[in-house]
Chain A
Amino acid sequence: MADPMKIRATLQGDVADVRVLMAHPMETGQRKDASGNVVPLHFIQTITAQLNGKTVFGADVSQAVSRNPVFAFKVKGAKAGDKVSITWTDNKGEKRTDETAIGAG
């Protein structure tokens, strides 16, 4: 199981500024390891974010996203204490969901 995400959500007016750091190798399938074998593709493909259980943001991404990906996005209509939950799925079918509460700006 992958390490937990670090999610930070702060409020500016009614807009939540959400930043997330995911722990993932994001292998491109082009890199070789020390013994010269190609490291197989292993990367996050889809990301969804929910605010209080309602999907508000989604992404489909490729292996060109950097290792331990960082994303930030902004969601309207949020209040302090609202729950932000983020899920990623990678090309091997691994999944991880983490949740945080929005802190006051």
Chain B
Amino acid sequence: MDRSRRVVLKGAGAGGALAAALAAGLLKPGSALAAWNKGAFEAKNTADAMKALGVTNAAESKDIQIRAPEIAENGAVVPIDITSTIPGTTSISVFIDKNPFPYTGTFDVSQGALPFVHLRVKIGESSPVRVVVAAGGKYFTTAKEVKVTIGGCGG
């Protein structure tokens, strides 16, 4: 908590980087995806990826439904349906905690799409699938464990 504040303060001190980030829409959760967030995609654990994305204080929520198989027979193709019933949902992000690079993607639904997305992912080993929803400047999260019997990273 304290630490992230310090980072922000430091950024602001260093020549209004915060203002620049705000202007670029980087800190506005769910606004038009600015640039492919290399730092987040290359993070090796979920916490670092969330930090790179600026996700803080994500509250556990029961208003996000993840539909995914309990046991995936083939980790190379695991279908996931995500629906958010949180009012004002702007984006949906997916993290697979135990994948080599957990951050799987962000779906921007702020421009006329309903807060729903279906995707198919590779899951290397049994792992929680964590979803972070941005709504009204706040973050909400939930997770669902998916067991994998055959890894998805062997191709």
Contacts and interface: CB of A to CB of B under 8 A. Distances in A.
User: Is the interface on chain B under 10, 10 to 19, 20 to 34, or 35 or more residues?
Assistant: 35 or more
Most buried by B among A45, A56, A73: A73
B58 to A, nearest CB: 18
Nearest to B102: A64
Query: Which interface class (under 10, 10 to 19, 20 to 34, 35 or more) fits A?
Result: 20 to 34
B76 A73 contact: no
B114 A58 contact: no
A79 to B, nearest CB: 13
Contacts of A54: 111-112
A51 B112 CA distance: 9
Given A60-B33, A66-B77, A76-B114, A30 B100 contact: yes
A77 B112 contact: yes
Interface stretch (B10-18, B117-125, B134-142): B117-125
Interface in A57-85: 57-67, 69-77
Contact of A76 (B107, B113, B118): B113
B116 A65 contact: no
B105 interface: yes
Interface of B: 32-33, 36-37, 41, 76-79, 96, 99-101, 103-109, 111-114, 116-123, 152-155
28 contacts: A28-B122, A28-B155, A31-B153, A31-B154, A46-B36, A49-B113, A51-B112, A56-B111, A57-B111, A58-B108, A60-B33, A60-B36, A60-B41, A61-B104, A62-B104, A63-B122, A64-B99, A64-B105, A64-B121, A66-B78, A66-B152, A67-B76, A67-B155, A69-B120, A70-B118, A71-B118, A72-B118, A73-B116
